[in-house]
Amino acid sequence: MNKLVTEVLQGSVRAMARLITLVENEDPCSLEYLGAIYPHTGNAHVLGITGSPGTGKSTLTDRITTALRRRAQSVGIIAVDPSSPFTGGALLGDRIRMQRASGDSEVFIRSMATRGNLGGLARTTADVVKIMDAFGKDWIIVETVGVGQDEVDIVRTADTTIVVLAPGLGDTIQSMKAGVMEIADLYAVNKADRSGAEALLTEVKLRVEQDAEIKKTLWQAPVLKTVALDDQGTESLLDAVVSHRNFLKQSGNFEIVRREKAREETLSLLKEEISRTMVEKILGNGRFEALIDDIVAFRKDPYTSVQEIVGTIFPDSE
C-alpha cells in the first residue's frame, strides 16, 4: 500500500494533513489514495452543525468537542465556509473560537473554503470526512455557515445534523426553509441568554411538531436551548445527538441512509469521470472545432450535434 495511506491508517497527523491537502488540490493521485482508505472508513459518527451566520456554531462546536473529549472520544473538525474564498481567514476566526479544542492534540481542525464550485466543496468535504474517519477519529464535526441549498448538500454527508438558531438574527419560522427542516435531526436555540430565545424556542417546537405530524416521521427533532458562551446545555445537546445515533442504529435507518449516500456519491463520481474522459476524447479528436465552425455558420445546430456525438460514443443508447 502507498506509504502516505499507510501512515494515515497508523495515525500520523502529518500524513492526514498532507492527504487532505492532496484531496483539496485535486491531485491526480488523490482518487487512488481515497480508494485505498475507503475500506477503513465507516466507524466515525459524523455530526453536521449548520445555521445562519453568527448563531454560535463555532462556539458550540468547541463546547461539544470538549464534552466529547470528556467522554474520551477523539474528534476531527471540518469548518466549511462556502462564502469565503480565503481559507486563511476562516482558519484564523475558527481557531480563536475553538480555542479550547485546538489546544488538544486529540482534536484535529481543518478549515475549508470555496475553491471551485459548491458541488465540488461538498464532495471534498465528504472526502476529508473519510480521511479523518480512516485515521480513527470517533467523531467528525462538520460546521458550515448558512442555511441554503449549498449548505444542505455539504451537511448531507453527516449522520446527525444540528441546525443552530439564535434570537435576534432573523431566525424565524419563515427563515426555516423546507430544505433546512429536511436535514435537521436536532435544533439548538443558542444564545438562550438573550431576549427572544423563549419565543423562538416555542415557535420552532411548534413547527417541528406540525412537520412530524404531516410526515409521520419516526424521529421528531428535539429542540434544545443552549448558551454556548457559558457552556450551558452542551451535555443535554450531546445526549440528544447520541440518542439520535442510537435511533439510527436501532431503527435500521443507518443502513438505509448510508446506502443512499453511497449511491449518490458513486453516481456523482461516475458522472464526473464519464464527463471528464468523454469530453477529453471529443476535444482531442480534431473534428470539434470544425463542428463549431458549422454551428457558427448555422449549417448545424448545437442541440442535434450533441445528440449525434453522444450517439456515436454510445451507439446502443437510443
Ligand X SMILES: Nc1nc2c(ncn2[C@@H]2O[C@H](COP(=O)(O)OP(=O)(O)OP(=O)(O)O)[C@@H](O)[C@H]2O)c(=O)[nH]1
Residue 71's SS3 state is coil
Q: Which of residues 215-274 bind ligand X (CB under 6 A)?
A: 227-229
Nearest to 8 by CA among 47, 38, 49: 38
Residue 146's SS3 state is strand
Report the partner that residue 191 touches, choosing among Mg ion, ligand X, none (CB closer than 5 to 8 A by kind). ligand X
Beta strands at 186-189 and 223-225: parallel, antiparallel or unpaired:
parallel
Report the partner that residue 16 touches, choosing among Mg ion, ligand X, none (CB closer than 5 to 8 A by kind). none
Give phi and psi for 190, each to the nearest 5: -85, 175
# residues near ligand X by CB under 6 A: 16
Residues contacting residue 177 through CB under 8 Å, at least 6 positions apart: 147, 148
Q: Residue 143 CB, nearest distance to Mg ion (Å)? A: 6
Taking CB under 6 A as the binding criterion, the range among 52-60, 175-183, 237-245, 276-284 that sits at the site for ligand X is 52-60
Q: Residue 105 CB, nearest distance to ligand X (Å)? A: 23
- Closer residue to ligand X (CB): 104 or 193: 193
Report the partner that residue 160 touches, choosing among ligand X, Mg ion, none (CB closer than 5 to 8 A by kind). none
Contact letters (x/-) for ligand X, 95-134, by CB under 6 A?
Answer: --x-------------------------------------
Residue 58 interacts with ligand X (CB under 6 A): yes or no: yes
Question: CB of 227 within 8 A of CB of 192?
Answer: yes
- Closer residue to ligand X (CB): 9 or 183: 183
Take residue 172 and report the three cell numbers written for it: 424565524
Q: Which of 8, 15, 57, 158: binder of ligand X (CB under 6 A)?
A: 57
Q: Which of 58, 124, 144, 160: binder of Mg ion (CB under 5 A)?
A: 58
- Closer residue to ligand X (CB): 8 or 163: 163
- Closer residue to ligand X (CB): 55 or 160: 55
E strand map for 24-106: 45-51, 75-81
DSSP state of 105: T
Helix then strand count (H, E) for the chain reads: 14, 7
Q: Residue 55 CB, nearest distance to ligand X (Å)? A: 4
Q: Which of residues 60-99 bind ligand X (CB under 6 A)?
A: 97
Burial class (CB in 10 A: 0-12, 13-18, 19+), 85: exposed
- Closer residue to Mg ion (CB): 30 or 61: 61
Neighbouring CB atoms inside 10 A of 297's CB total 8
Taking CB under 6 A as the binding criterion, the range among 3-11, 50-58, 116-124, 197-205 that sits at the site for ligand X is 50-58
Q: Which of 11, 53, 85, 116: binder of ligand X (CB under 6 A)?
A: 53
Q: Which residues pair with 20 in a beta bridge?
A: none
Sign (positive or negative) of CA dihedral 65, 35, 266, 258: negative
Which H/E stretch holds residue 139?
A: strand 139-145
Q: How far apart are CA 165 and CA 68, in angstroms?
A: 22
Q: Which of residues 144-203 bind ligand X (CB under 6 A)?
A: 145, 190-191, 193-194
- Give residues in contact with ligand X (CB under 6 A): 53-59, 97, 145, 190-191, 193-194, 227-229
In the complex, which residues of this chain contact Mg ion (CB under 5 A)?
Answer: 57-58
